[in-house]
Every structure is written in C-alpha cells, then in structure tokens.
Chains A and B, each alone.
Chain A
Amino acid sequence: MGKSADASCMTASASAHAMAAPAQSPSVPWITRRIGRHVLHVDAAGRFLLSDHDLRNRAERGHLTLYEHERLTESGLLVEGELGRLSQRLAAQQRRFHPGELDYLILVPTLRCNLACSYCQVSRAAEGASGYDWSDETRDAVIDLVRRTRARHLKIEFQGGEPTLRCDLIEAVIDAVPPHVEATFVICTNLQQVPPEAAALFDRENVSISTSLDGPREHHARQRGQDDAASEAFESNLDRLLTRYGPGKISALPTLDPRSPPDPDELIDAYARRGLTAIYLRPINYQGFARRQHADCRTTDARWLEYHEAFIRRLIERNWKDRSICLEESYFSLLLRRIFRPGEDRHVDLRNPNPFGTDFIVIDHDGLAYPTDEARMLARSGIIDLSIGNIRQGWNTPARDALNAASTCDGDPDCEACTYKPFCGRDIVDDISRYGTIDIPRHETEFCRRHLHLFDLAFELIHSPDPAIQYSLCRWLGLGGDRLPAERLS
C-alpha cells in the first residue's frame, strides 16, 4: 500500500488551462494520490475514481478515450450540463461544514470522581472534595440555556468527573428541555457504582449510557490501577445493565495505551461477547495526568497506526467468518461515511472548517465554556487556557474568534494539495495538545499522518476485490448487498 503523497498536485494554472478545453475538462481540478499501483483522482466535491494511470494530462488536452470519459462521467469527475455543474458545486459546498443552531451540549456537572485512572483525561477531583460541582448560579444558567434552545433536536452529554455523583443536576437539566424539542441524553459513567438515582435516570427512554471498557479484565484493571474486585464490580454493573436494556442503549469505548495495546482478539472478545458491536479505538491522549505519566507516548504514533489497521483487518476477518454479529471500529466507519456522503458533519473533531462555539459547546464544572472536551482537559492540566467564555456571559468572544480563524484546512498549503481534503478536517486543539502550537507543517502532525494512513486504507479496501472486505464495508455503510457499488478504471 502506497502512503506517499503525490507531489505533483495540480496547480492553479493547470486548472485554468483545463478550463480552456470544455469538452472533456474538469470544471474543478482533480488531485491525485498513489494507492498501491493505482492512482486515485478526487475533486473538491469528494467524487473519486481509481485508475491505472494519472488521467489529468490527457483530460486537459482532450485526449481521453471514450471509455475513460464514460468512467469519469459516471464517477462525477466530469459533469454533464448545467444541472451537473450546479450539483457538483453544491456537493463541494456540502463538503464544507456549515454550522447550525447550538444542539449539542457537553456538560460537566462535577469534576469529582470515585476512580483515579492512570490515564485520566480530565484531571479529576477526589470524590469527597468540595468546590468541584456546579454552583447554584451555574446550574441555573445551564438550565436557562437548555430552556431557551432554538434547536429542534438536542443532544446533551454528561461528562465528568463521574456525573452520576450528581444525578440531581442531570435530572434538572433533562427536565428543562422544552416539550417540543426532541432530546437525547448520554451519561458518560465509569459504572463503578450505580446508585439508585442513576438507575432511575438510565431507565428513561431517551437516556443512553457511555462507558469505558478497556478490554479483558486484567487489562482494564491495570489501566485503572484497580484490584480485581473493583474491576469485577464494574463488569457486573455493565453486564447487569446490558441484560436489562440490551446493547442498543449502552456504548463502550476502550482507552488504550498505544505502547502496549491488548491483543486485538482479546479486546474484540470483551465487546463481542456482550453484544457490543461498535468499538471506538481511542489511544490515550496526552493531557491531564496522562501527559505527566505517559510522556513517551509521542513517539509511538507509527506503532499505533499499525495496530489500528491490524485491528480493522481483524474485524473484517471475524465479520466474514461469523455472520451472526457485525463488528465495527466507529472512527473508521465515520471516515467511510465521510468519503461517500457530503454533509456527514456531526463528528465534531473531523470537519472543515471547524468553528468552535457554534453548534456545540462544553460547559465545565465551574461554568467556563470550552470549544471541545480536549480543550477543557488542556486547561485543567494547566497547559493552556482555551476557555472561550462562560455560561453566564456566553462565548461570543475574541478568544473564540482567534481560535476559529485558524480552525480550518482552507489555505493550508498541505491541505489544499491533499487528495483527502474533502473528507478530512481540522483539530487545532489536538495540535496544541501535542506540539504546543498550530504552526507546524500539517504533514508533520500526528493528526495528518493518522488520517492519511486511514484514508489510504479506506480507499485500498473500497477498491479491493476481496469479498470479505466488501462484506464488512457494506455493513459499515449500511448497505443491503455484499459488494460496494463503486467502480474503478483499469
């Protein structure tokens, strides 16, 4: 599999030249990239075609064969008529994120937690500490924000600390949602204990549960610095809730140490045997306690990519062998959806541009507003204060504007020359967290290398003739058949 970017990206003058021959020329430039022995052509609308050769020169000169012309037209890279041109421009616009109403809130009612995991990303406070919960004033302001929502659909995620230590606050927020608004709630809990008031919240139909499951018990326990009994308590809580609600209401994700990730099969088994089919691989990221304790993580990027790819390939093999359960790695599924579907923009860490404080916001235990949960963690661990406002005065602030000016792939020389720009996005908080600056070449960032690798993998798999691969891709993209309807030119 080729991972090197094609250096000969189409320049502005080349595209202007292409416009001069209207019969066969692209109305937007194509950018190419080698995938194995083939060449992937992509336009700004995210339309693509894999071919044995780079077709740009001949397209510009009007020397395409009839067959090539047909395949390019089918792929949408060459357009027909006024409707085709308009649709292509619309699709290119839809590849960009256009923020709507604020409809996604991440709320941290308390920073206190009953665990102290080695990798804790939130610089938690001790369970008995005081001053780490919402004040009455903050609570009232959050409730007011929820009451005044202009969104028709609202998603509210309760994070912590351990939010079930303050179920009263969760309940107050839930009850503040206006009756005409369709709201869903996610409680992110370690499930170490399930007090009766938490159980009552879980019973609500529009409440779902998100927890961490790091793999087999020994691995899970080691990550959390726990003894076996504590891990057993967590597992029995998880299994009890799964029995009660079924897997639809509960999601789990593993937080993994990239230096010593668990055997993929052991990790998959921990999920599959519980009927949990979606696994979102999350490497420890370098914030909070984790930043101090796992400082060597920075250099393990490459090994992590190998692990991630091996994991996806293992899922494909398992899905092919056992059709009774279909497992997926959630982030890879997201990338696949973004490849085929313009406007798939609700994953807030991967979109372009990615303006903060628009459709989602994080409200911390002290009422401060953060652009993302990662930004909150950076501030908590004393690295950089990325708060953009607070719950009382809002976040229409110069701090937000300063971040938003940079929160885009547009104008970045690497991104503008990248085949994957229509599918990719920008996460400046990740850059700040890793490098303390956003001002380094994109291709030298972990974010860029990871996404190049995953998109390369995605396009290799999309075009693979292997029926096992095609089977999983169809499941992950929600198709009924066993083969993607995606053509290539060869």
Chain B
Amino acid sequence: MIALALRAASDAPAPFVTRLTRKPDSDPALSHFLAATQAGSLWSGAQGLFEVASAAEDLIGDVVLVDPFEGRADRLIRSASRHNTLVVTEQCDQLCAMCSQPPKKTHVDRFDLLETACLLADQGITIGISGGEPTLHRARLFAMLESVLEARPDLTFHVLSNAQHFTADDALRLRSPCYRNVVWGIPVYAADAASHDAIVGKAGAFERLMVSFTHLLRAGARIELRTVLSSSTAERLDTLASFIARNLAHIEQWSVMGLENIGFARSRWSELHLDLRRDFDAVSKALDRAILHGIRPRLFNIPLCHVPEAYRSYAVASISDWKQRFSDKCAPCAARPDCSGFFEWHPPELVEEVFPL
C-alpha cells in the first residue's frame, strides 16, 4: 500500500496546498526540496519551512495539503499516479449496503484548498471527486469545477455522485461547454425501485435518481453508471442491463464492479460476496445484453482469472495502485500487468484463490 496521508510539521498559520519540486522556482505555489531529514524530507515555500515524513524522491511533483494543526500532509494529487481522488465531503444521504467509505455527519469545507490543488495538477490528467456525496454541496462543487476548468481546460473530472440532487436548473448550468470535461459516475443497483432503495438505504432514492437522469440527459451530461456486484444485485443484473439499454443507452460506460471488503460490506461479507468463478452466468448475460445494444461495459475490481475468457477484454486493471494487492501465486501470471488484482483489504484466504494465466 502507498500511504496517502503522511506525518508532517509546519509553522504555517493555516492549512495550505503546494506542489513539491526538486529545484527552487519563482512560482509561489511551489515548494522546493531543501534537505533529507531523519523523519523524511524538509521543504521550503511561501508558507515557510515544513517537514514531511517521507523521502523526497517519492514526493517530487506531488500536490500536497499540509495541515499544521493536525501535523499531517495529504498527498492530494500524486504526479506518477493515474488514481487521484479528492474527497470533498464525508456527508452522504444514502447508506449503501456495500459502502466502502461510510459517511460522517459533519462537513469540513475544503473546496478552496482543493481548487488550488487542481490548478497545480499535471497537464491533461483526470481528477476524481468523491465523498460522501459531493452534490450535497452542489453550489460549491459546481463553482470549483467551473473555475478550475476555465483556467485548466486540459483537465478532466470524474465525479462520483448518487445523483439525488440534480435539478432542472442544474440541467441548464451543466450545458456549459466546460462540463464536456466532467464525467458523472453514478451508481444504480437494480431496475426496480424496491431493490435499489433497499440497497442504498433510502426510500424514494430510485425515483429521485430517475428524475436526475432526465435532467442530466437534457444537459447532455457524460455519465458512467456503476453497479457493485453482490449476491443481491447479480440476480437482477440482466434486468438492469435491459433497463439501461432502453432508458440510459446514452451513457459512456457501465462499470460492473467487484465488491470491496471494507466499510459496511466488511461486516456483511459472507452475505453479500459473490463467487464469480462459480456464478458468472448472470453477469455474462447482462454484459451480452449491454454489448448487443452498443453499451460499453467494464468489469472493475475483478481479477482476470475469475472472468471467463470471452469477457476478459472487458475487465479493467481498476484498483488504484495504493490499495492494490496480488497473491504470491500471481507471480508467474502473464496477464498480471492488465489485471486489477485485489484490494489490499480483500479476505486473505480469497486472495489465494487465483490461477496464473
């Protein structure tokens, strides 16, 4: 695992965002490397000196948020990584059965700092926005996306949202050309309200989701649908595929995702977990239906050896580098570079259930 939060020390009067560079630079948004220290590395920038508990080599090019009060540096945007996600809030109005990051009640507004971080990002990258539910703070979120994209049209945002809050007015706003660089990642778990609502833990969620979809469709918004595979979603997956083909064929991608053994799913693992090596039939039928109608499916978080050969081309090496794990048995596997592997927190006995391709 790669640590995203590091111990840090700084005398700055307030949290700040900076990008770490090797050499001094006149740009006040940058901080440069001064010296290696016992704890890690010492840096100098407009906010004075600060120390981070990591070797400089690993941090060069990273955009970090240094919080002097917490004594912490968050690596918000790592230069070498394709997986950078900013958490804009930890509040959420759904309680999904398989939530990997259970929500908190309070909200700390960091939008200004996150905006600064985005402006310092490498050219052309995609920045993930996640939560909690980002659209609970819609006005702040939209303002951040718009102002970053005005200054940095090279960037793309991928915003994970439960789509419970989009309005007709939003549809007008989201027609702005800058939103061509924003993809909304939206979970949908079933084609019927009862099943979907039960999974997301909110009555009326499905109906509100459909309302949001009409607003997003009118806005021409780019959408990625996400469905987490569990014992409760798999049996309805083909019906969902049919629903998507009829009502949501304009989406850019349908991501069908393996369950993550963390958060709420951890305590209900045995109930929710689906052994795809045995039970892939429901998935393959749904994938075929999507493909037939020109919808692009993708399989996330599923090791290639758990996917029948005919569907392997849809599997993505999706698990972020900092939380990815392989079994020792994976060593001789030729497909490993293209494989998602497992989450670091996958049940250890299941990680061994692989075979090299």
Contact = CB atoms under 8 A, between A and B. Distances in A.
Interface of A: 47, 74, 76, 79-84, 86-88, 90-91, 340-344, 474, 477-481, 484-486
A478 B291 contact: yes
B84 interface: no
Contacts of B292: 340-341, 477, 479, 484-486
* Closest CB pairs A-B (n = 6): A480-B310, A341-B294, A485-B289, A76-B246, A479-B288, A481-B288
Nearest to B311: A480
Contacts of A88: 246
Interface in B210-227: 210-211, 213-214, 217-218
A340 B310 contact: no
Given A340-B294, A485-B292, A83 B284 contact: no
A481 B248 CA distance: 23
A190 B105 CA distance: 72
A223 to B, nearest CB: 37
Interface residue SS majority, chain B: helix
A84 B294 contact: no
Contacts of B310: 480-481
A91 B249 contact: yes
Interface string B256-286: 0000000000000000000000000000110
B287 interface: yes
Contacts of B217: 83, 86-87, 90
Given A478-B291, A480-B291, 10 more contacts: A83-B217, A84-B247, A87-B247, A340-B292, A474-B288, A480-B310, A481-B285, A481-B288, A484-B292, A486-B292
A100 to B, nearest CB: 15
A83 B249 contact: no
Contacts of A341: 292-294
Interface in B221-249: 238, 241-242, 245-249
Nearest to A91: B249
22 contacts: A47-B246, A76-B245, A82-B211, A83-B210, A83-B247, A84-B247, A87-B217, A87-B250, A88-B246, A90-B249, A90-B250, A91-B249, A340-B292, A340-B293, A341-B293, A342-B294, A344-B294, A478-B291, A485-B238, A485-B241, A485-B242, A485-B285
B308 interface: yes
A48 to B, nearest CB: 12
Interface of B: 210-211, 213-214, 217-218, 238, 241-242, 245-250, 284-285, 287-289, 291-294, 308, 310-311
A91 B247 CA distance: 9
B249 A84 contact: no
Contact of B294 (A47, A79, A83, A343): A343
Contacts of A47: 246
B214 A86 contact: yes
A431 to B, nearest CB: 30
A481 B250 contact: no
Scoring A82, A343, A477, A481 by chain B CB atoms within 10 A of each residue's CB, the highest score goes to A481
A424 to B, nearest CB: 18
A128 B249 CA distance: 55
Contacts of A87: 217, 246-250
A47 B246 CA distance: 9
Nearest to B289: A485
A79 B246 contact: yes
A480 B250 CA distance: 22
Contacts of B242: 74, 485
Contacts of A79: 246
Contacts of A474: 288
Nearest to A73: B246
Contacts of A477: 291-292
A87 B294 CA distance: 14
A75 to B, nearest CB: 8
A84 B285 CA distance: 23
A74 B293 CA distance: 13
Nearest to A75: B246
Scoring B248, B284, B288, B310 by chain A CB atoms within 10 A of each residue's CB, the highest score goes to B288
B264 to A, nearest CB: 29
Scoring A82, A344, A478, A486 by chain B CB atoms within 10 A of each residue's CB, the highest score goes to A82
B249 A485 contact: no
Nearest to B244: A87
Contacts of B250: 87, 90
A485 B245 CA distance: 12
A85 to B, nearest CB: 9
Contacts of A81: 210
Contacts of A91: 249
Nearest to A85: B214
A340 B217 CA distance: 21
Scoring B238, B241, B245, B247 by chain A CB atoms within 10 A of each residue's CB, the highest score goes to B247
A486 B285 CA distance: 11
A71 to B, nearest CB: 11
Contacts of B294: 340-344
Given A340-B294, A344-B294, A485-B238, A480 B288 contact: yes
A481 B238 contact: no
A474 B285 CA distance: 12
A480 B246 contact: no
A203 to B, nearest CB: 27
A341 B292 CA distance: 7
B214 A480 contact: no
B291 A479 contact: yes
Contacts of A485: 238, 241-242, 285, 288-289, 292
A194 to B, nearest CB: 34
Scoring B213, B218, B249, B292 by chain A CB atoms within 10 A of each residue's CB, the highest score goes to B292
B99 to A, nearest CB: 25
B295 to A, nearest CB: 9
Nearest to B286: A485
Contacts of A80: 247
Contacts of B293: 340-341
A81 B214 CA distance: 10
Contacts of B248: 83, 87
A345 to B, nearest CB: 12
A228 B310 CA distance: 43
Nearest to A483: B288
Contacts of B287: 480
A83 B289 CA distance: 20
Contacts of B289: 485
Nearest to B238: A485
Nearest to B293: A340
Contacts of A84: 246-247
Contacts of B246: 47, 74, 76, 79, 84, 87-88
Contacts of B285: 481, 485
B167 to A, nearest CB: 14
B210 to A, nearest CB: 5
Contacts of B249: 87, 90-91, 342
A91 to B, nearest CB: 6
B351 to A, nearest CB: 26
